[in-house]
Structure 1
Amino acid sequence: MIEFSQVTKQYGKVKALDSISFSLSKGRIIGLFGPNGAGKSTALKLIAGLSRPDRGKVEVDGQNPQAAKSKIAYLPEVDYLYPWMTIEGAACFIKAFYPDWDEHKYKELMHFLNLEPDMKINKISKGQRSKAKLLLAVSRRASYLLLDEPLSGVDILSREEIINTLIRDYREGEQTIVIATHEIGEVENLVDEVVFVKRGKIVLKQEAEVIRQERGKSLVETMKELMKGE
């Protein structure tokens, strides 16, 4: 379980997260939705142990995130892969650090995503780089998979392959996937639970199906209603 208790994170005068408290259950796909600048990426960095709260506490399975890093695979929005590396070189680099690397899964997904081991990062398209980043994150058997804007700037065919990879590889009940995005149309049917974030605060946390039934609206429509004035 992921738990935030009265968490505040500030950059200068800007409160990226403003005293938020919530928990995310294990073994589910969770949407962390909101506009750019809402605090989604900050929340993921805190879960991944790449940043620390100014106030409050973040825990992953009762541990601080730095102690739980081996359970967490994090895919940032930024292009973090070294441009001179091949996909295989990047894979060798990552698997040296994480004992949960699954080589069989890596090779299967490589084929599924239409990638080649000798593809050089600086020679492939943005869509292929996004697929390569996903490949490297998902090839670990991590308990928690954190995805920051996984579809941002990606062409429609690559988006479909990325979504199909998540569906294909998801271990229901065993793995928790958190998808932080403002582009929710293509992932709204994936998520079990939704957390809507606005200006560093939680404005709604609910089961996706309950939102549809009680509000009579899609998640896209619900977000538009909640984010009015943004």
Structure 2
Amino acid sequence: MNEPIEQRNIAELQGVHKRYLLKHAIYGIDLQIRKGTIVGLLGPNGSGKSTLLKMMAGMIYPTSGRILVNGRQPDVRNKSQIAYLPEIDNLYGWMTVKETLRFISGFYDDWNADKAADMLEKMELDINQKVRSLSKGMRARLKLIAALSRDVPLVLLDEPFSGIDPSSRAKIIRSIASEFESGEQTIVLSTHSVKESEPMFDDVIFLQGGRIKLYDSAENLRAEFGCSLENIWEKVYV
């Protein structure tokens, strides 16, 4: 229990609040995220999932409290520690798939070209196809390749399955599971697709109104409630 943060946890949040003018988005969150795990970040719209991920990525800063990733505050200076996939689509439509990945790779020294090529094959994307002509599901797959092709200790995925077809969801979930480097990386994934994602999760955070409602290992939560995570969602939020 007294091991240093850098040995046991990839991230630690202490008393974190986030306010936007009159809106209080995150209320005093205390959280430790274990290294080498896939963590499900669950909650309805407006529960604070995106805000929490953006703060962990160093995109925005807490109003008060402290966030550490690998023992340091997340900001532009330690972007090599974190890969962040936003829910919004920020791809350039005039580029091809190949040009998109080449463009993104130029920003990061940790880019793994072999992993990108392997994922392109698994995701069944044509490298010469223009991004503007890709379906929403294909664009989601391309965004995921961009995030998972970096060799970083922490990967943050904000709703990677949002609004896409079941076939693309299945491909993305399989890819996350196969590319995950257990013990080397930690993935925090926010999603509403609990049923499909549940088998991946080591730990699960349930957010409600900017507060942590539940946080434990998926195994402990299923044992405590006697049901699946999908059914726990229904008990917590319905």
TM-score calculated relative to the size of structure 1 = 0.96
Q: Is residue 16 of structure 2 the alignment partner of residue 7 of structure 1?
A: yes
Q: CA deviation at 1:19?
A: 1.1
Map 1:103-114 to 2 at 5 A. Answer: 103-114=113-124
Determine the structure 1 residue equivalent to 2:216: 206
Q: Is residue 125 of structure 2 the alignment partner of residue 134 of structure 1?
A: no
Deviations 1:68-98 (A, max 9, x none): 3111111111001112121111111211111
Q: 1:52 aligns with which of 56, 61, 83?
A: 61
Instruction: Provide structure 1 residue ranges, at least 5 long, that are not aligned to the other structure.
Output: none
Map 1:3-42 to 2 at 5 A. Answer: 3-42=12-51
Q: Is residue 92 of structure 2 the alignment partner of residue 91 of structure 1?
A: no
Deviations 1:177-230 (A, max 9, x none): 1011122111011100011000000011111001111210111111111123xx
Question: Given residue 14 of structure 1, which amino acid in structure 2 is its aligned partner?
Answer: K
Q: Is residue 71 of structure 2 the alignment partner of residue 62 of structure 1?
A: yes
Query: C-alpha root-mean-square deviation of aligned residues, in Å?
Result: 1.0
Determine the structure 1 residue equivalent to 2:125: 115
Q: Which moved more, 1:116-125 or 1:38-47?
A: 116-125
> Do the aligned partners of 1:30 and 1:194 also contact (CA within 8 Å) in 2?
yes
Q: CA deviation at 1:43?
A: 0.6
Please state whether the residue corresponding to 1:189 is helix, strand or coil: helix
Matches of 2:166 and 2:48, distance apart in 1: 26
Deviations 1:91-140 (A, max 9, x none): 11211111111111111111111002112111110000000101111111
Question: Given residue 26 of structure 2, which amino acid in structure 1 is its aligned partner?
Answer: L
Question: Given residue 185 of structure 1, which amino acid in structure 2 is its aligned partner?
Answer: K
Q: 1:43 aligns with which of 36, 40, 52?
A: 52
Q: 2:163 aligns with which of 149, 153, 156?
A: 153
Deviations 1:159-182 (A, max 9, x none): 110011011111111110101112
Matches of 1:108 and 1:73, distance apart in 2: 18
Deviating above 6 A after TM superposition, structure 1's stretches of 4 or more consecutive aligned residues are none
Determine the structure 2 residue equivalent to 1:188: 198
TM-score calculated relative to the size of structure 2 = 0.93
Please state whether the residue corresponding to 1:186 is helix, strand or coil: helix
Instruction: Provide structure 2 residue ranges, at least 5 long, that are not aligned to the other structure.
Output: 1-9
Matches of 2:129 and 2:32, distance apart in 1: 40
What percent of counterpart residues are identical?
42
Matches of 1:127 and 1:86, distance apart in 2: 16
Q: CA deviation at 1:25?
A: 0.6
